[in-house]
Every structure is written in C-alpha cells, then in structure tokens.
Amino acid sequence: MSIPSAPARRFRRAAIAVGAVLVAVALFAVGLNGRAEGATTSSTSVAASAPAGGPPVPQIVPKPVSMQVGTGWFTLGAQARIAVSGGAQAMAVAHDLAGYLRPATGFPLPVVAGRGGAGDISLAVGANHAVGSDPDGEGYSLGVTSQGVRLTAGSAHGLYNGIQTIRQLLPAWINSSSVVSVPWEMRAVQIVDYPRYTYRGVMLDIARHYEPPAAVEQLIAQAASYKFNVFHLHLSDDQGFRIAIKGFPRLTRIGGQGSVGTDGRTMDPGGFWTQAQYRQVVADAKAHFMTLIPEVDSPGHNNAIIMSEYNDLSNPLLNGPQDINCSANHPPVWNYTEAVGYSALCPDSQNTWTIMTAIIDQLSAMTSGPYYDMGGDEVPSTILSQSQYADFLNKEAPIVRAAGKTVMGWADIAGAGTSLGTPTIAEYWNPASGSQSGTETGTEAVAKGMQIVMAPANHTYLDQKYLAGSAGNVPSTLGLSWACNTGCDVDQFYNWDPGSYVNGVSDSSVIGVEGAMWGETVPTISDAEYMVFPRLLALSEIGWSPAAQRTSEQSPAYQDFIGRLAEQGARLQTAGVNFYPTPEVPWGLDLSVAQPTLGPGLTIGGTLATLSAPGRATSAVNATIQWGDGTSSTGTVTGAAATGTTVNGLYSIGGDHRYGQAGVYLATVTTTASGTAPASVSFFVRVG
C-alpha cells in the first residue's frame, strides 16, 4: 500500500481501522509515520494519524501580536488533562476549554488543579506572563511543544482569550458537536498576544425583528470565540420594545408585538424578554467575558414606547401621558416600514421621565457591566429642535449616572448643547472620513472629552449588502445599502483604520470598534449570521491586532488576512454557523474521516469522509477513492446546496467497493476543486 506524499496546507490524512463483521476488532494501533493516536474499542475502531510534516502553520484570526512557528507538534491524546493554577475564575476557564474540546475529540479531558505534566494542557494565571502593553489584562502567552501546551495570563480573561487561540491551533473539526476522526495535533508555536483596543463590540438589534435569548446566546458564543468583549443589545426602536419593565406592562403587551414589515403586526408577532431572561443573557455574556450594554434608544427611534404609553391613562404612575409624544404625528401612529426620524419623546413631559427612569433603573440594576446606552441618534430638527434634543440628553445622563452606569450613545450625543459629563462614550457611525461633512460628531465628541467607539457604517454595519446593484445583491432579500452603495464585503470591513479614520479622532480617544447588526431586513438569526459572518472577523482583527497597512485589496495585510479567514470557513461550518461564502475569500477544502459501512462480506460503502468546501457546489468538487488494493473509483459528493441566504452544508464523500481478498488496506479519499489545494484523508480498512 502506498502512503500519499507530504501534503500542501489543509492536506490531512487520518487513518481509520475498520473491523469487518467477521473479525473481532480490538484496538488497532496504526504505525503510519510511526505515529498513531487514539483508538476505540467499538467495531469500527479508529486510529488517526497525520502527515509526516506535522500539522500546518496555524491560521489564526485575529492575528496574534507575535507568533513563532516551530517544527514539531503536540498531539492531544485521550489521556490529556487540563491542569489549572489560579483560582476559581481560572478553573472556570479550564472547564470552558474542556467543554470546547470534549465533543469533537471524545476525550475525557479531566480538569485538575496544579501544574500539568507531559501531554497536558496547562493554564496558569499570573505566572511569568510575558505580555507587553496590556492595560486591561486581556493578554496571554501560549507555548506549544511536543510535550504539551502551556497558557499563561495575567487574568482569567487573558486565559479565556488564550483558549480561543488553542481552539484555532487544533483542526477545524474541533468545533464539531460529535466525535470526529482527525489527528488532534497542534503545531509547535510560541505566541504572545494582547489587544490593540479595550472595546471590541458587536451590536444586535432585536427591536426591528425579535430574537429569542437562545439565538442571541449563539451569537455571543461565536463573537467571544473571536475575542470580542462587548455585546451591545439594541432593545427598543420604532417597531418594537423587547424587555419587560415593571409598572409598565403595556410596553411589552403593546410595544413588544410587531416587527418591521408586519403591516399591522400580522406577519411577524414580535416578542419580548422577561427580566429573568434578560438577566440570564447578561450572565451568559459575562461567562463569555463579554460586557453586555443595553440600549433603549432616545429621544428618537421610540415609536413603540410612545404607542404603548400614550393611552396608558389608568397607570397610577402616569399623569396624562399623551404629553410624551413629540413625534411628527399627533396622535402617534404605528409605522412598520424602515422609515426613521419621525418619532420623539418630549423632553419637558414629566411622564417621559417617569417612564425613562423606570427603564433606566431596572435595566441598570439587571446589568452587571458598567455601561448604559441612551441611543441619541437621528432626531431631525423638524421633530425636536437641537436645544430640545440636548435638553433631553442632559436630563437623561444624570439618571443613567445615578443608576451607577457610564453614559454611552451614538456620536450624535456630542452635538451642540449637550453636557453629559465624563466619562461618556460616543459611538461614531457616520460613513464620513477625514474631514468630510459628517465627521463633526467625531470631532465634537473628542472636544467634549468623550471616548470614541468607531463604527463607521460603511466599514462596520453588518446589515449592509455585501454587493451593490440589482444583479449583485447577495442575497436579494437581506440588507440595506445606504452606507454601502458599492457594496460592503470583507475587503471593506478590513481596509480601514479606527485610529486615523476621522481627522482629529486618534487612538488617544478611540477605545475600540463595533459591528452593528441592524434588524430591519433580517428576520431570523440564521439570516443575521449570514450577514455577520465572515465580515465580523475582519472587525475582530481590526479591534484586536496591531495596526497594519490595511489599505487595499492588494495590500499584504489584506492578502494575509483572507488567507487566514479562509481557514475559518470549515470552523464556522463545523460549528453550525451560517455565513456568506464570499468569493473574496479563497475558501479551501478540508476533510475528515466519516463512518463507512462494512460488509456484507468483503465490501465497504456509504459515507467515507466529510468535506468542508464553503462556496462550492457539489458539482464543483471531484472526489477520488484509492481503495488501497491498486484500484480506484470516483467518489460521490452529496450534501445541502447553498441557498440565497444559507451557506452550503458539509458534504459527504461516498463510495462502494468489494475487495478481492481479506486483508488490511490503506484507502485514501482525495478531493480536488479548481483554484485550491487538494485535500486527502486516509483510513485503514480491515476486511475478511
């Protein structure tokens, strides 16, 4: 039998020893390359091995500050332990790591206190961590040798960031929720890593379309795996109010219903979270080392509040609440379109402040993080004069501060007449750059001593279409294009710099970046994922990695990035995350061994291997099976095709064969597709 020659990147071989029906199978240790890992005692015993050159160079997103790649590798084996020193929080991170690694490996990976030995993954807080500029203690040092993995950090958060890197050092199949047969090898590396920015956020709008807590937690988990540390939750807008507030049941009974496009709340019933659900999501975000920031937009973008409370005449807390309405319409009317800028709460209504104080106080009490977002965007002067607008925010900010939170809002809050105190965080969303008209909100925010989160819509808005034009709208049902009339694909999300985007707004004011997933056109979490991924990963790198020449599609930084991003395709697919397989990214092929069917007699068949091939139709992939007895045949490639709003699924590579005589054969499945390296996987078949 012949062993395929050394692989290109992504080329993998695994060996699987398959016991035929007539043979009692015990452990089947494979001597391929002198290395064999793992075996089970089931009738389809597995022993995975790997290419002679060891695992490929890791393709990590976001790019670490420094990574030295060695020549050897570490093999995570069935006996490995996760050893941890550093207290309860570090112990919790060790359990997180075990939780990430157990499903795909099937290994027990016990978490033990103390310093690990050979073959273990060791986590330690405090000890010798060689991290440089890291004021927030989020950095980590990670060493992989043939003897083991050692992760050290100054805090549990640093450890948590480090375990996300450990996941990416392992094969992409590590994200699978069921056991996968690949060699669990990690290339020898020395990594020192820490973030450029303090604030790395993702925002989700559950007001325009409701999302349940479980869906939001899915996004939190994905964002955390790319080292995001803020989850900004847009809870209220013109079309919906999504959180129960005691004393104001109509906010959710009336305001919680409906969504954009529901035309009178018939198509999409909307929904809201109970306070218990909100607390649970706050805790879940915290467990992922993400700070949850609640936003109830004000004084504009709140027709749902106005429609709920305008006629709340019997509420003992209110006194003639019809004076809350400063909208374009008197009385207010529902508007389920994507229109903006027509609603406003009145700053000089006592009822306004009774309602807003209840919202701010209750949300703040339930929120463990230090921020509360007042919104503050898009109130035309035809609705509220600038002085009324400023008056509103100047009244709201002290309520937020009294509730113990730092004020945050869209950068409009820096406009004339506002005096919100410090610290205040302004989120810059205007596409304008340099000193163009529209950048004033950024420079005004700096002038008022605010800290800035950079979220220019044409580089960070996750609801914008990937491609422009009617033919190119991918997909046609999702996305707006007001900020991206030439399209906002991965290149647009990557090629900009938060610290020099607006003249006068430099890294001395910028605390980070945020990607905003607005919900007008996005009814389901699957659709949201399609819009969020993969371009959120560009923001992950902008927020985390050191400044680079991120200027154009030709720049070395971008070329390096999309090569690493390509590797994330299989990780997203195995994690079950939907994404847009943009043609900008050179997606590859990645294979793992599946569970073939044996017998009757000397036959093998069924699914031999599982293939990740993002963005390629089954017809664009060729599969060949060398059965190990000198014969070969064409494999079938089957699986779920892409739709306008979903990525294609993982594919199954099938084939059937009858061996001429009993024996042990090394079979190899090879897949090829144009423009990318082939992928192969090998497995032993014992028949007869």
d(C-alpha 303, C-alpha 137), whole Å: 42
- DSSP lists the bridge partners of residue 371 as 406
d(C-alpha 609, C-alpha 18), whole Å: 13
CA 300 from centroid of its chain's CA atoms:
29
Q: How far apart are CB 485 and ligand TNX at their closest, in Å?
A: 12
Q: How far apart are CB 516 and ligand TNX at their closest, in Å?
A: 7
- Cα end-to-end distance, the chain, whole Å: 17
d(C-alpha 390, C-alpha 396), whole Å: 10
Q: Dihedral sign for Cα 144, 147, 153, 157, please.
A: positive
Burial class (CB in 10 A: 0-12, 13-18, 19+), 248: buried
Q: How far apart are CB 356 and ligand TNX at their closest, in Å?
A: 19
C-beta closer to ligand TNX: residue 454 or 602: 454
User: Quick one: which H or E segment has residue 222?
Assistant: helix 213-225
C-beta closer to ligand TNX: residue 16 or 462: 462
C-beta closer to ligand TNX: residue 295 or 312: 295
C-beta closer to ligand TNX: residue 210 or 461: 461
Q: How far apart are CB 477 and ligand TNX at their closest, in Å?
A: 15
d(C-alpha 226, C-alpha 206), whole Å: 22
β-bridge pairing 121-125 and 451-454: unpaired
Residue 511, both tokens = 């605390």
C-beta closer to ligand TNX: residue 199 or 461: 461
C-beta closer to ligand TNX: residue 525 or 609: 525
The candidate with the shortest Cα–Cα distance to 377, out of 436, 298, 318, is: 298
Whether the CB-CB separation of 618 and 641 falls below 8 Å is answered with yes
Q: How far apart are CB 609 and ligand TNX at their closest, in Å?
A: 42
Q: How far apart are CB 273 and ligand TNX at their closest, in Å?
A: 20
C-beta closer to ligand TNX: residue 217 or 378: 378
Q: Which residues bind ligand TNX (CB under 6 A)?
A: 340, 377-378, 410, 429, 457, 461, 463, 480, 518, 520
C-beta closer to ligand TNX: residue 45 or 239: 239
C-beta closer to ligand TNX: residue 217 or 338: 338
**DSSP string covering 249-305:** THHHHTTTB--TT-TTTTS--B--B-HHHHHHHHHHHHHTT-EEEEEEEESBS-HHH
Q: How far apart are CB 398 and ligand TNX at their closest, in Å?
A: 23
Contacts of 484 (CB under 8 A, 6+ apart): 457, 458, 461, 464, 465, 468, 492
C-beta closer to ligand TNX: residue 73 or 429: 429
C-beta closer to ligand TNX: residue 120 or 520: 520
CA atoms within 13 A on the CB side of 30: 30
- DSSP lists the bridge partners of residue 112 as 83
Q: How far apart are CB 403 and ligand TNX at their closest, in Å?
A: 22
Q: How far apart are CB 94 and ligand TNX at their closest, in Å?
A: 40
C-beta closer to ligand TNX: residue 166 or 413: 413
Q: How far apart are CB 483 and ligand TNX at their closest, in Å?
A: 6
Q: How far apart are CB 457 and ligand TNX at their closest, in Å?
A: 6
Q: How far apart are CB 393 and ligand TNX at their closest, in Å?
A: 14
Residue 443, both tokens = 């420079």
The candidate with the shortest Cα–Cα distance to 578, out of 636, 536, 521, 608, is: 536
Contacts of 26 (CB under 8 A, 6+ apart): 41, 45
The candidate with the shortest Cα–Cα distance to 105, out of 83, 121, 84, 124, is: 121
Sequence letter at residue 582: T
In the 8-state DSSP scheme, what is residue 46? B
- DSSP lists the bridge partners of residue 625 as 633, 669
Residue whose token pair is 């030295």: 68
C-beta closer to ligand TNX: residue 289 or 342: 342
The candidate with the shortest Cα–Cα distance to 420, out of 445, 459, 389, 394, is: 394
C-beta closer to ligand TNX: residue 463 or 590: 463
Q: How far apart are CB 238 and ligand TNX at their closest, in Å?
A: 9
C-beta closer to ligand TNX: residue 340 or 664: 340
Q: How far apart are CB 534 and ligand TNX at their closest, in Å?
A: 19
Q: How far apart are CB 430 and ligand TNX at their closest, in Å?
A: 8
User: Quick one: which H or E segment has residue 490?
Assistant: helix 490-494
**DSSP string covering 201-218:** EEEEE-SSS---HHHHHH
In total, the chain counts a number of residues equal to 688
What are the φ/ψ torsions at residue 574 (nearest 5 degrees)?
A: -70, -25
